[in-house]
């Protein structure tokens, strides 16, 4: 009931580990798969090791809502290849998230990841507290980098979209035009929390990315709007911590979903979500999650009265 084909990737569940959470080692990603995830996305990997920002780099600001500014800390692609190979030796569906400072560097990292065994590449052009965000706010830059990378890769290419823009649809369409096999909507939202006693931002970097429950309705709205204009699959991401959240993304038009922040509760939440979706499908007499994708679009919202 939960099986999907995502741009050629055959997954046992639509739940995918989001980039940046538990995605830096084989052991942590294996736990996520054992809990029932269909695939894992690695932490964003760059061309060389990067320390990231100093602590505090992540805080819980409301129950289930976090703000982080990790700064794309990662071991670098050359050191990460061994992890990719170990993951693939265990037949784990793997999406490698990559970033760089030029399109050539993006491609270099993506090519090394693909050769090491990655099943798909996700390009991070939207991290709100790093330089790569400047790409994801410009439709022309997005088109250029997606087209350039796609021309040199054989595996599916997903683009993680920046929600901190005036019109996410234009960026998504540019990614589709460039050859993207799917988009991930959305990355975290730019945010700032100030300590009233120290009178300075709480995170060492200052601003950060907001994730978790508070952004879920925003992510649903973005997916709902993108479904109307895109032909390629949408991977919904933002604030999932229950089966209802996943079903909501499906009804809005998502083909798969990524879960991240909620894993602070433990990977077992994935098992519970999968069970909940199956019960929902059976109770409503659906045979597959594909039967409910985009159903919310059959509902006609109230039209604004014409006063002319």
Can you list the pairs that 275-282 forms with residues at least 24 positions away whose Cβ atoms lie under 8 Å?
Answer: 275/243, 276/242, 276/243, 276/244, 276/246, 277/1, 277/2, 277/243, 277/246, 277/247, 278/1, 278/2, 279/243, 280/243, 280/247, 281/1, 282/1
* Annotated catalytic residue, options 94, 96, 123, 127: 127
List the structure tokens of 290: 């594909």
In angstroms, the CA 215 to CA 65 distance is 8
In angstroms, the CA 8 to CA 29 distance is 21
Beta bridge partners of 233: none
152's CB contacts (< 8 A; 6+ apart) are: 107, 110, 111
Answer yes or no: 237 catalytic.
Answer: no
Can you list the pairs that 193-197 forms with residues at least 24 positions away whose Cβ atoms lie under 8 Å?
Answer: 193/59, 193/61, 193/67
Residue 212 Rama label (left phi>0; alpha psi -120 to 50; beta): left
The catalytic residues are 127
């Amino acid at each position: 009931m939960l099986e999907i084909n995502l741009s050629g990737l055959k997954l046992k569940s639509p739940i995918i580990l989001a980039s940046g959470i538990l995605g830096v080692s084989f052991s942590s990603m294996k736990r996520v798969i054992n809990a029932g995830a269909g695939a894992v996305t690695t932490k964003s990997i760059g061309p060389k090791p990067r320390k990231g920002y100093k602590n505090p780099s992540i805080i819980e600001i409301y129950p289930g809502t976090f703000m982080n500014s990790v700064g794309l800390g990662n071991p670098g692609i050359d050191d990460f290849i061994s992890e990719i190979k170990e993951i693939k030796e265990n037949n784990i569906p793997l999406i490698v998230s990559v970033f760089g400072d030029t399109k050539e560097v993006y491609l270099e990292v993506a090519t090394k990841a693909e050769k090491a065994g990655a099943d798909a590449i996700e390009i991070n052009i939207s991290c709100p507290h790093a330089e790569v965000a400047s790409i994801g706010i410009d439709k022309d830059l997005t088109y250029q980098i997606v087209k350039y990378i796609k021309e040199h890769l054989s595996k599916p290419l997903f683009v993680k979209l920046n929600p901190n823009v005036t019109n996410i649809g234009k960026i998504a369409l540019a990614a589709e035009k460039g050859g993207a096999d799917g988009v991930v909507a959305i990355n975290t939202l730019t945010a700032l929390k100030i300590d009233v006693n120290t009178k300075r931002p709480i995170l060492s970097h200052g601003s950060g990315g907001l994730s978790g429950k508070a952004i879920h309705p925003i992510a649903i709205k973005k997916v709902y709007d993108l479904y109307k204009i895109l032909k390629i699959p949408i991977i919904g991401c933002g604030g999932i911590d229950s089966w209802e959240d996943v079903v909501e993304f499906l009804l809005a038009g998502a083909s798969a979903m990524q879960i991240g922040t909620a894993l602070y509760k433990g990977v077992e939440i994935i098992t519970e979500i999968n069970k909940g979706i199956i019960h929902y499908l059976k109770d409503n007499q659906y045979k597959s999650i594909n039967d409910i994708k985009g159903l919310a679009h059959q509902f006609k919202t109230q039209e604004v009265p014409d006063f002319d």
